[in-house]
Amino acid sequence: MLCGVVLTIGLGLLACAPQVPAQRDGQDDREQTDQGVGHAGSLPHLRAEVISVLSHDRSSFTQGLELAAGTLYEGTGLRGSSLLRATDLATGQVRRETRLPAELFGEGITITGDRIWQLTWQEGVALERDRETLAELRRVSYSGEGWGLCFDGSRLVMSDGSDRLTFRDPVTFAPIGGVDVRRGGGAVGELNELECVGGQVWANVWGRDEILRIDPASGQVTAVVDASGLLSPRQRAGTNVLNGIAAVPGTDEFLITGKYWPSIFRVRFVPS
């Protein structure tokens, strides 16, 4: 899937034009409706205020995004093209990159100390990697699909495309609980890429320009972010869905992007 090489983030980009696949997130096409989801109502309604714009490898079918110690980690999907890349955020230099075996469809990623966990979509396998080298250390099996993943400091939080968040042990990957996500009185399905920060879980909703803030203790949605309009109509041509969210440590800012997007946006979520 990687047709070119990112030379810089913010300074430049060399990538060939991607071919949009029938599969959009490793999930087959599904009609998006508001059934069972509801609207923001009395929930805090936020928007993504852009602070700066960085270049993004437009050939990347982004599945997971994580920022730690100045390094941006990105996991991508599609069988035969899935990879994990580590890039210096300040210089845009690609430090390391590793490809998944052709039979694996990469999904969400997260960092736990000196390790990185990387999900696969339907293969039921999580890859544990060395954070420094990105080398695969072991594989752990799980049931169901893998979509998004984040680490709250003590446990992993995983999405599988349903309205359920599963909590997992960060060492064994064994399930240790979970919570059903609700927005008002309705279930929220197709929870996708996740970011854990400040005791909250931020979740992309697949197929929507929307990010939800979720209380992991109750499963209640506590805020809704409108992330629409980041790309112009011209920039949006040939791209895919919003997907990819990473907190910027020590700030209230985030990096967000999408599949085949030409840019990563450094944003702050502010009242709309």
Q: What's the 3-state SS for the chain?
A: CCCCECCCCCCCCECCCCCCCCCCCCCCCCCCCCCCCCCCCCCCEEEEEEEEEEECCCCCCEEEEEEECCEEEEEECCCCCCEEEEEECCCCCEEEEEECCCCCCEEEEEEECCEEEEEECCCCEEEEEECCCCCEEEEEECCCCCCCEEECCCCEEEECCCCEEEEECCCCCCEEEEEECEECCEECCCEEEEEEECCEEEEEECCCCEEEEECCCCCEEEEEEECCCCCCHHHHCCCCCEEEEEECCCCCEEEEEECCCCEEEEEEEEEC
Checking if the pLDDT of 25 tops 50, the result is no
- With contact defined as beta carbons under 8 Å apart, do 213 and 202 qualify? yes
The contacts of residue 260 (CB under 8 Å, 6+ apart) are: 18, 20, 58, 59, 60, 61, 238, 239, 240
Tens of pLDDT, residue by residue over 45-70, are 999 999 999 999 999 999 999 999 99
Q: List pLDDT tens digits, range 124-135.
A: 999 999 999 999
| Range in 31-45, 149-163, 230-244 with the lowest mean pLDDT | 31-45
pLDDT at 33 > cutoff 80: no
Residue 208's pLDDT is what? 94
Closest by CA to 68, choosing from 193, 173, 153, is 153
For 210-236, write each residue's pLDDT tens digit. 999 999 999 999 999 999 999 999 999
